[in-house]
């Protein structure tokens, strides 16, 4: 066995040890006693409910109780009636699964070494939401109107370089993004880069990020008031349309010192980027689908602001670095298309909450294993993997990981080794036409796309 292969097996063995520690039967039973989920010896034990809700429970919010009982019996040998299983969905089980999720989230499944970057961390904050049956409105308030009166919004702050979840919270479907974003500013450290959607910012928040010694890149709306100071100290309102009408496709224009806002003016860099025809057509199609109205001239230009110095991040790279924000959208896509977290039929509230916390824990496990595989493949083979492909492979292998943890009581390293081989063979990220991959943007792989032109 080569040195690289030996190191690879050892790291996968350490990952397997983390699984065994987190899901050890004594630990689960102790947590069940603390939360009073199990107060006396029963046929259905703590590890059996974890099996159903975390490892086998992708469909507990959509399948019938009879089918779930069959799944449980086939996987664990525990036979329950539909009514007995229904009684297990109660407040104590919800508390148990929530505490297990919080424990696993805080412990992390493994320590992941960060990729190299000009920034110490790249923190991406976004949310995904979905509607729920109206009977859940007291616990998860929805928007009402044309939508359901009940809904849930999951806030996720994700660190791109290490692939870790910094914070994950499920709340009302109408909870404020901007207010949640303010709570995360307190956790910033010098050298962090913050990437967020427009809905997470107040202008004063940008100043707080700067005061923390952190950086941001953000788009601004086309009608945002942008000012410059003249030599006499007077404010001059800029007309963005006049500045951009002479830009060519794919061309970038930088104004190194502008001020945004009406009452409070924040100093920042402004980068204007004119979309290519292909990018513009895609945006217009999206606006038509979302029934969004916007002046044509404004829709053809991206307006970015950043406090990152030009010697760290040139104007021509700002657009690419902001596009890294879409990595969190890939995560949300896996949640809904692979894990079906949003599929919920009417049922008792406690059963849905067991599904929610069980799936959040499942998603954390898959994400951590995915990015451990990413690091190993990059270090050992110089390959960049597709997060979507890898997440699918990991969730398929969860059944085998469950079997060695709770049934055969073997070490998971053999399963993880097979998974690594499959990811290595079939998990490589595919290149999209004229699009740089995240590793190319970070400078880990030499990019094959031409740099963007910059206006004089």
Question: What are the pLDDT digits (tens) for 6-40?
Answer: 678 888 888 888 888 889 989 999 999 999 998 77
Q: How far is CA 305 from CA 229, 257, 309, in A?
A: 17, 10, 11
What does the pLDDT read at residue 371? 84
Q: What are phi and psi of 93, to 5 degrees?
A: -65, -40
Beta strands 226-229 and 252-260: pairing type? antiparallel
Q: Give the integer Cα–Cα distance in Å for 273 and 256.
A: 14
Query: Beta-carbon neighbour count of residue 22 at 10 Å?
Result: 18
Q: Tokens for 287? A: 């606006």
Distance from the first to the final alpha carbon of the chain: 57
What does the pLDDT read at residue 196? 93
Q: Give the integer Cα–Cα distance in Å for 9 and 421.
A: 11
Q: Is 143 exposed, middle or buried (0-12, 13-18, 19+ CB in 10 A)?
A: middle
Percent of the chain scored above 90 by pLDDT?
40
What does the pLDDT read at residue 279? 85
Angle 121-397-415 from CA coordinates, rounded to 5°: 95
Closest CA to 10 of 413, 383, 420: 413
- Kindly list the domain boundaries of the chain, sorted by start residue: 3-109+331-426, 198-324
**C-alpha radius of gyration, the chain, whole number:** 25
| pTM of this structure | 0.87
Q: Give the integer Cα–Cα distance in Å for 441 and 122.
A: 13
> In the Cβ-directed half-sphere of 282, how many Cα atoms lie within 13 Å?
6
Alpha helices, DSSP H, located in 151-192: 177-185
Over the chain (456 residues), what is each successive 10-residue block's mean pLDDT? 65 87 90 89 85 82 89 88 92 94 76 73 94 91 83 93 89 91 94 90 90 94 86 84 85 92 86 88 82 77 93 91 91 89 88 92 89 86 88 90 85 91 89 75 61 47
Percent helix, percent strand, percent coil in the chain, to nearest 5: 45, 15, 35
What does the pLDDT read at residue 376? 87
Q: Tokens for 115? A: 């990729």
Closest CA to 153 of 132, 123, 135, 138: 132
**Tokens 């916390």 map to which residue?**
357
Q: Give the integer Cα–Cα distance in Å for 25 and 30.
A: 9
Q: What are phi and psi of 147, to 5 degrees?
A: -105, -170
Q: Give the integer Cα–Cα distance in Å for 253 and 273.
A: 7
What does the pLDDT read at residue 445? 65
Q: Check if the beta carbon of residue 56 is closer than 8 Å to that of residue 78.
A: no
């Amino acid at each position: 066995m080569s040195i690289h292969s030996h190191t690879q097996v050892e790291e996968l063995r350490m990952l397997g040890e983390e699984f065994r520690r987190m899901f050890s039967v004594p630990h689960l039973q102790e947590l069940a006693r603390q939360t009073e989920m199990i107060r006396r010896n029963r046929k259905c034990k703590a590890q059996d409910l974890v099996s159903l809700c975390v490892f086998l429970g992708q469909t507990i919010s959509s399948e019938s109780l009879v089918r779930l009982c069959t799944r449980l019996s086939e996987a664990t040998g525990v036979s329950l009636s539909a009514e007995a299983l229904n009684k297990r969905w109660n407040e104590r089980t919800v508390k148990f699964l929530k505490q297990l999720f919080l424990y696993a989230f805080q412990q992390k499944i493994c320590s992941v070494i960060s990729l190299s970057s000009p920034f110490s961390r790249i923190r991406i904050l976004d949310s995904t939401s979905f509607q729920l049956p109206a009977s859940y409105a007291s616990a998860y308030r929805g928007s009402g109107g044309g939508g359901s009166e009940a809904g849930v919004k999951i806030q996720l702050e994700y660190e791109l370089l290490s692939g870790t979840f910094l914070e994950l919270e499920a709340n009302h479907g109408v909870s404020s993004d901007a207010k949640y974003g303010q709570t995360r500013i307190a956790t910033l450290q010098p050298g962090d880069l913050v990437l967020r959607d427009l809905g997470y910012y107040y202008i004063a928040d940008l100043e707080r990020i700067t005061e923390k010694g952190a950086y941001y890149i953000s788009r601004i709306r086309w009608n945002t008031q942008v000012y410059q100071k003249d030599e006499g100290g007077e404010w001059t309102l800029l007309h963005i349309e006049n500045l951009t009408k002479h830009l060519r496709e794919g061309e970038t224009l930088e104004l190194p010192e502008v001020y945004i806002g009406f009452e409070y003016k924040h100093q920042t860099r402004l980068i204007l980027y004119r979309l290519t025809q292909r990018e513009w057509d895609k945006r217009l199609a999206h606006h038509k689908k979302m029934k969004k109205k916007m002046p044509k001239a404004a829709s053809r230009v991206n307006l970015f602001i950043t406090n990152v110095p030009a010697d760290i991040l040139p104007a021509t790279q700002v657009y690419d670095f902001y596009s890294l924000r879409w990595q969190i959208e890939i995560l949300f896509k896996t949640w809904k298309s692979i894990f079906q977290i949003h599929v919920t039929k009417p049922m008792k509230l406690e059963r849905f909450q067991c599904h929610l916390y069980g799936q959040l824990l499942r998603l954390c496990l898959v994400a951590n294993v995915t990015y451990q595989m990413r690091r190993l493949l990059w270090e050992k083979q110089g390959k960049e993997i597709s997060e979507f492909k890898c997440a699918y492979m990991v969730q398929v292998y969860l059944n085998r990981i469950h079997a060695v943890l709770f049934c055969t009581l073997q070490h998971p390293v053999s399963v993880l080794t097979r998974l690594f081989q499959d990811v290595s063979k079939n998990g490589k990220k595919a290149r999209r036409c004229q699009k740089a991959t995240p590793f190319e943007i970070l400078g880990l792989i030499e990019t094959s796309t031409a740099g963007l032109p910059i206006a004089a």
